[in-house]
Amino acid sequence: MKRWILWGLIIGCLFLVVPAGADGQTPDAGGQEKAVVTVTTKLVPDVGLERGGKSPAVEIFIDGKPTGFTAPHTFVLNPGQRYELRGKARGYTDDFREISFAPGEHNFQLSLRLNSFSFILYVFPALLWGALLTLGLTVVAVFNGIIIGTLVGIGRVIKSKVVNLIAGFYTDFIRGTPLLVQIFMFHFGLPPLLGLLTGTDAVYVPAIISAIVTLSINSGAYVAEIVRAGIQSIDRGQMEAARSLGLTYRQALRHVILPQAFKRVIPPLGNEFIAMLKDSSLVSVIAMEELVRTGQLLQGRFYRSTEIWLAVAIIFLCMTLPFTRLVAMLERRMKTGD
């Protein structure tokens, strides 16, 4: 429980340090005559956080005093003095300018940006869609991975040199190369080769296919190692007892070894799921709009990387932490009684 409080504090502090910058230019100072200043405001992004979807009205303050007007509004200001202009709206960062005006007419814009919290709320739905894809990809990949991995894991322990070799090569290759490289190999590297072999043009498959296939194949190799370790962790006496009763190797595996291995394999499979939740972010490089890619796109649009990546991290945490706890619980339960 203490850990949760710590997480809350850390995240809270991050909100405080997120910069809420403003931009704009300061006109030249000086002059004796009065200046006529038309103040306009700009909301970035203009989303209308208030109820009803309308943009909030920006109140204009001069020298710290509310004028009672909302932008746009025109003021006549005395020359030679410095004024403080301020725009304020709920959910937006205040914009302050200390300025003095040359005589004449000025158009002056105060630009208000969503404050960090509002901005995160604003991009949250988009990020959640990304997270949904991340979750979906992970579930599909690990599901396929469990099927592939169970077969390959068994393939690593059975008494067949050829099968051992193939299964071993597969796990070595996948576990020994970066997932990123595997994605590139499948998505970009394979089509030309297939084209060459079949004498046709390279056919590039949609990113979603590449993503599912590579993640599944990748997960399969890790699950295979988990399954192999699970099988090998079962006491040799179990196989011997089964065989001594006349069961075939297959029967012994199916009725004696695998049911026992299955239980031991559940916690590490949970870890594999957590790892895949995080690693699946690599398919962002082939433009799959999962959580990380969504974050990149939002960053390109709003240039507010701090909030975006903080939000992305929080969403990842929200997805992984429950599983981390679940795995820990399963491991504890496994230790106390098989």
Binding residues (CB under 8 A) for other proteins: these are: 235, 237-238, 240-248, 251, 255-256, 259-260, 263, 337-338
- Residue 245 or 287 with smaller CB distance to other proteins: 245
- Residue 248 or 305 with smaller CB distance to other proteins: 248
Q: Which amino acid is at 308?
A: I
What strands, in cross-sheet order, belong to the sheet with 59-62? 65-70, 59-62, 83-88, 95-99
- Residue 67 or 260 with smaller CB distance to other proteins: 260
- Residue 52 or 337 with smaller CB distance to other proteins: 337
The strand pairing partners of 35, in sequence order, are: 77, 104
Cβ 264 to other proteins, closest distance in Å?
11
Cβ 263 to other proteins, closest distance in Å?
8
Q: Which of 146, 137, 180 is nearest to 276 (CA)?
A: 137
Cβ 255 to other proteins, closest distance in Å?
6
Q: Write the DSSP string, 78-96.
A: -TT--EEEEEE-TTB--EE
Q: For residues 35 and 30, give the distance between their C-alpha atoms in angstroms, rounded to a whole number.
A: 11
- Residue 12 or 246 with smaller CB distance to other proteins: 246
The length of the chain in residues reads 338
**Who's near 255: CB < 8 A, 6+ residues apart?**
242, 247
Cβ 235 to other proteins, closest distance in Å?
7
Cβ 163 to other proteins, closest distance in Å?
20
Cβ 196 to other proteins, closest distance in Å?
47
Cβ 238 to other proteins, closest distance in Å?
6
**Who's near 279: CB < 8 A, 6+ residues apart?**
179, 215, 218
- Residue 233 or 305 with smaller CB distance to other proteins: 233
Q: For residues 212 and 138, give the distance between their C-alpha atoms in angstroms, rounded to a whole number.
A: 9
Q: For residues 148 and 140, give the distance between their C-alpha atoms in angstroms, rounded to a whole number.
A: 12
- Residue 238 or 320 with smaller CB distance to other proteins: 238
Q: Write the DSSP string, 7-74.
A: HHHHHHHHHHHS-------PPPP--SS-EEEEEEEEEES----SGGGPPPPPEEEETTEEEEEESSEE
- Residue 175 or 263 with smaller CB distance to other proteins: 263
